[in-house]
Amino acid sequence: MTTLLINIKELIQVRDHSIKKVSGNEMKILPTIKNAFLLLKDDRIVDFGPMNELSVSADETVDCTGKMILPAWCDSHTHIVYAGNREQEFVDRINGLSYEEIANNGGGILNSAKKLQETSEEELYKQSSVRLEEVMKQGTGAVEIKSGYGLTVDAELKMLRVIKKLRENYNLPIKATFLGAHAFPSEYKNNKEGYINLIINEMLPKIASENLAEFIDAFCETGYFSVEDTDRILSAGKQYGLTPKVHVNQFTTIGGVQVSVKHDALSVDHLEVMNADDIETLKGSETMPVALPSCSYFLSIPYTPARDIINAGLPLALATDFNPGSTPSGNMNFVVATACIKMKMTPEEAINAATINGAYAMNLSDEVGSITKGKKANFIITKEILSYGAIPYNFGSILIDSVFINGKAI
């Protein structure tokens, strides 16, 4: 089956050869072709170029006059698999309680863990599939999903099995991350060593035996998992072939970046609080910094210092952090807009961060993230817009006409 899209006003993020990521000043460059065509064969991109070079026909032709095409968003940090909601905590924050105070009162991650433990695998899958379908319609064409709201052996496995089932039933790249080290369960409040031993000695072997995850994560933060805890957990995960992707620097900088780079982490995520040492450490690594601006928006905490990171010659990716407590939204369009509005990223930088660099942060550089021959035909067709700058500018508008996953409109 061949599909030809013609009269594309602008074909965005065109790369003749697959590249892994863009960094520093390269992030300001977004290659495009105006008045373009795009040819698909089954689920792959096979050709593209300006309309005056078009010399082929196809089984199906789609006229995109006035519309633009760009790669589907690559969301490299989500917690889509969760049970229920935390709407009451939203009200608590409005009434003046901090994220930390809510957690200390039994809310936060432990609240979500309790709900998830009480929810059947079937019901958890049902709730999670609704969220996944929603973000796909909003333009996400590749996604990472973490566990971490289980905090028991059975509940963590339940989460990862739901992620596996989503991957089997939805035809887009889905990566699974084991985040047993998300918080200490209340029963281990005075026995943190015991919980870390549970992660290492019971959870990891079972996850590995069922091949349920590709990545391992830890919430390396004051009041959660220390640098030493994180070091030990990442070391154990690597023994089972799990690549680190780590929560660091959300509220404090305690050495999480350094221990993550030590373990060759694929990404370090959050980074709302950064210092010069953190940036210097990242300069000497292949680790992708990942910003989660809608989390900053929702919690009213600082935004990742994108300009400092990019001006240091580093790459940056954008992701949603979709979760029930700090970011109950998986809308990457809002993430891109917020990065431009609040983090002073240019539209070019934000689109690069949400596509090609997001793909890198999931080990998907060869599959998605750019309009490149041989890559998956996962892309967004916009409505008729004046420029791609409309995506962040019209932050409250629905600018997507359709989304293609594996060469088919969803």
The answer to whether 77 is annotated as binding is yes
Render pLDDT for 126-168 as a digit per residue (tens, 0 to 9).
999 999 999 999 999 999 999 999 999 999 999 999 999 999 9
Number of CB atoms found within 10 A of residue 367's CB: 18
Render pLDDT for 359-380 as a digit per residue (tens, 0 to 9).
999 999 999 999 999 999 999 9
Contact between 369 and 356 under an 8 Å Cβ cutoff? The reply is yes
The answer to whether 86 is annotated as binding is yes
**Do 73-361 and 2-71+370-409 have the same topology in CATH?**
no
The answer to whether 250 is annotated as binding is yes
What is the per-residue DSSP string for 230-252?
Answer: HHHHHHHHHHTTPEEEEEE-SS-
Q: Is 227 helix (H, G, I), strand (E, B) or coil?
A: helix
The answer to whether 149 is annotated as binding is yes
84 or 203, higher pLDDT: 203
Render pLDDT for 305-323 as a digit per residue (tens, 0 to 9).
999 999 999 999 999 999 9
* pLDDT value at residue 14: 98
Contact between 382 and 309 under an 8 Å Cβ cutoff? The reply is no
Going by C-alpha positions, the residue among 387, 389, 348, 352 that lies closest to residue 371 is 352
What does the block give as tokens for 99? 């994220």
Burial class of residue 159 in the structure, from the number of CB atoms within 10 Å of its CB (0-12 exposed, 13-18 middle, 19+ buried)? buried
What does the block give as tokens for 22? 């863009």
In which band, very low, low, confident or very high, does the pLDDT at 402 lie, cut at 50, 70 and 90? very high
The fold for domain 73-361 equals TIM Barrel (3.20.20)
SS (H, E, C) 175-202: EEEEEEECCCCHHHCCCHHHHHHHHHHH
Q: Above 90 in pLDDT, residue 183?
A: yes
The answer to whether 321 is annotated as binding is yes
pTM recorded for the entire structure = 0.95
* pLDDT value at residue 84: 82
Going by C-alpha positions, the residue among 123, 79, 129, 101 that lies closest to residue 330 is 79
CATH code 2.30.40.10 for 2-71+370-409: yes
The answer to whether 326 is annotated as binding is yes
Q: Above 80 in pLDDT, residue 231?
A: yes
Going by C-alpha positions, the residue among 323, 335, 351 that lies closest to residue 138 is 335
Contact between 292 and 77 under an 8 Å Cβ cutoff? The reply is yes
The answer to whether 275 is annotated as binding is no
- Mean pLDDT across the chain: 95
Render pLDDT for 43-71 as a digit per residue (tens, 0 to 9).
999 999 999 999 888 999 999 999 999 99
* pLDDT value at residue 192: 96
* pLDDT value at residue 399: 97
* pLDDT value at residue 203: 98
The answer to whether 138 is annotated as binding is no
In which band, very low, low, confident or very high, does the pLDDT at 104 lie, cut at 50, 70 and 90? confident
Q: Is 105 helix (H, G, I), strand (E, B) or coil?
A: coil
* pLDDT value at residue 295: 97
The answer to whether 120 is annotated as binding is no
Ramachandran quadrant class, 303 (left: phi over 0; alpha: psi -120 to 50; beta: rest): beta
* pLDDT value at residue 111: 82
Average pLDDT over residues 177-186: 95
* pLDDT value at residue 392: 97
The values of phi and psi at residue 204, to 5°, are: -60, -45
Where do the structural domains in the chain lie, given as residue ranges? Answer: 2-71+370-409, 73-361
Render pLDDT for 286-304 as a digit per residue (tens, 0 to 9).
999 999 999 999 999 999 9
CA 217, 207, 136, 368 torsion-angle sign: positive
